[in-house]
Amino acid sequence: MADWDLLLTNARIATMRGSGVPYGAIDNGAIAIKDGRIAWLGANDALPAGTAEAQRSLDARWVTPALIDCHTHLVYGGDRAAEFEQRLGGAGYEDIARAGGGILATVRATRAATEESLLASATARAAALLRDGVATLEVKSGYGLELDSELKTLRVARAIGATTGQDIRTTLLAAHTVPPEYRDDADGYVDLVCKSVLPAAAEQGLVDAVDAYCERIAFSSKQVEKIFDCARRQRIPVKLHADQLSDGGGAALAARFGALSADHLEYTSPAGVDALAAAGTVAVLLPGAYVTLQETRPPPVELLRDRGVLMAVATDCNPGTSPLLSVREAMALACRVFGITPEEALAGATRNAAAALGLADDRGTLAVGKRADLAVWQIDHPRDLSYWLGSQPLADLFIAGQAATLR
């Protein structure tokens, strides 16, 4: 006889297993949890005999894998609301960046901020994502751009989970832009990242992945390659901000290094898409940045779909291009502006987001053995998660089998 910690019955389950059944749905199902993992899942009437310490009927509510936000820049000082107004008045993102604003404005504020204040503001943002159903989120550094401030950012990111209960994956994005100290020596800064920042951050156990911004206002392919080579030598997986504002061959570069993901991709060429497909690199779609920057060229979604590239959807939460604190809103936007389906959007925020973080074997679908990260929703159908804008349908969230505190 099975013995479980928690048994959820009378649930409508969107397993998101990609089994051919839409949403991998099970109509009248049950989920048994033991030691933070899914121990049994299937139709209610096939439930084997067992005892559970706790049992709850979900009264026919929908359960999905908890959401995963696989691309955020959640830890930063200040904000860029004034820049947002300036841009709506006609100023360009790249022009502002070249004039020392943009990312560098946030770098100044982040360097000046105390660890405590960064933790307080970042935790509040993560809590908003939690209330939206997010159990796992990735947080990038990249507003420090010097050893101590990058380490500070990553420490803060890791500390968020102690309050919210979320699992935080940290990505070193020291190559976000060239800091003022290296204004005329981007190569010198790349050397610093390779020789000092990356080894120190990795040594302190703060790096799950390494990211870079490959763009004409940031780093060239050659410079990114150098950083990726260093990451590879330390066996740290890589991801890339690729082809966001121009086609810099970013997707192909990410693919060459077997990157977990290539993110943005508005200007990615068909050859870039083929490279992603061959490498099994996940395409992360970031509609919040696209909409905020009032971009007009969407990523090549049809081609990505056609070539079988896995598509994830994330908030890209950051103060400059994507002040967005809802993965569901990102899903809803991705359907509207990129033309993905609600089922692709949900897969993009669960199964494929897990793959973008190298966690596909552990979470992102509902199956026996997976982490019991479950979101319970007050909805009629999982497509509602992308249909509504501004609704708050989350009823419950379980992280590794534990009910999260949502208020």
DSSP state of 335: I
- For ligand NIG, the closer of residues 213 and 267 by Cβ is 213
Residue nearest to ligand NIG as judged by C-beta position: 320
Long-range contacts of 393-398 (CB under 8 A, 24+ apart): 394/131, 394/132, 394/133, 395/61, 397/66, 397/130, 397/133, 397/135, 398/6, 398/33, 398/66, 398/135, 398/372, 398/373, 398/374
Cβ proximity to ligand NIG, 266 vs 373, nearer residue: 266
Contact 343, 303 (CB under 8 A): no
4, 23, 189, 213: residue in contact with ligand NIG (rule CB under 6 A): 213
In the complex, least distance from residue 348 CB atom to ligand NIG, rounded to whole angstroms: 16
121 binds ligand NIG (CB under 6 A): no
Count of residues in contact with ligand NIG, rule CB under 6 A: 14
Q: Which of 106, 121, 170, 223 binds ligand NIG (CB under 6 A)?
A: 106
Cα distances (Å, whole numbers) of residue 32 to 39, 211, 232:
5, 37, 39
Residue 315 interacting with ligand NIG (CB under 6 A): no
Cβ pair 327, 125 in contact under 8 A: no
Tokens standing for 122?
A: 């970042």
Q: Decide whether 338 or 377 has the Cβ nearer to ligand NIG.
A: 338
* Count of positions (residues) in the chain: 407
Give how far Cα 403 sits from Cα of 164, 166, 185, Å. Answer: 11, 11, 50
Rounded to 5 degrees, what angle do the CA atoms 120, 315, 372 make? Answer: 80
The minimum distance between CB 120 and ligand NIG, in angstroms, equals 20
321 binds ligand NIG (CB under 6 A): yes
Residue 82 CA to residue 341 CA, distance in Å, equals 34
- Sole window of 55-63, 276-284, 315-323, 365-373 interacting with ligand NIG (rule: CB under 6 A): 315-323
Q: In the set 132, 215, 316, 396, which binds Fe ion (CB under 5 A)?
A: 316
* Binding at 331: pick from ligand NIG, Fe ion, none (beta carbon under 5-8 Å per type): none
What Cα–Cα distance (Å) separates residue 223 from each residue in 207, 297, 399? Answer: 20, 26, 39
3-state SS, one letter per residue, for 88-101: HCCCCHHHHHHCCC
Q: Which stretch binds ligand NIG (CB under 6 A): 39-47, 101-109, 270-278, 398-406?
A: 101-109
Shortest CA distance to 177 belongs to which of 123, 222, 220, 129? 220
Site string for ligand NIG, 331-370 (x = CB under 6 A): ----------------------------------------
What number of CA atoms fall less than 13 Å from residue 186's CA on the CB side?
Answer: 18
Question: Residue 386 corresponds to which tokens in the numbers above?
Answer: 């992308």
Query: Are 164 and 123 a contacting pair, CB within 8 Å?
Result: yes
| Binding status of residue 266 toward ligand NIG by CB under 6 A | no
Give whole-number Cα distances, 258 to 212, 231, 254, 401, in Å. Answer: 14, 12, 6, 33
Question: Closest separation between CB of residue 142 and Fe ion, Å?
Answer: 8
Q: How many residues bind Fe ion (CB under 5 A)?
A: 1
Q: Which of 64, 315 has the CB closer to Fe ion? A: 315
Which residue from 320, 323, 342, 348 is in contact with ligand NIG, where contact means CB under 6 A? 320
Sketch the per residue contact string, 275 through 304, with ligand NIG: x for CB under 6 A, - otherwise: --------------x---------------
Backbone angles phi, psi at 34, to 5 degrees: -140, 130
Distance CA 249, CA 358 (A): 23
Of 94-102, 231-239, 308-316, 380-388, the window that binds Fe ion (rule: CB under 5 A) is: 308-316
CB of 264 to ligand NIG, least distance (A): 7
Round to whole Å and give the CA distance between 101 and 234: 33
**Residues 54-73, mask of contacts with ligand NIG (x by CB under 6 A):** -------------------x
> Which of these ranges, 3-11, 15-23, 314-322, 387-395, lies near Fe ion under the rule CB under 5 A?
314-322
Measured between alpha carbons, how far is 356 from 167 in angstroms, rounded to an integer? 15
Q: Which does 170 bind (CB under 5 to 8 A by kind): Fe ion, ligand NIG, none?
A: none
Q: Which of residues 218-257 bind ligand NIG (CB under 6 A)?
A: 241, 244
Binding site for ligand NIG (CB under 6 A): 73, 102-103, 106, 213, 241, 244, 289, 316, 318-322
Binding site for Fe ion (CB under 5 A): 316
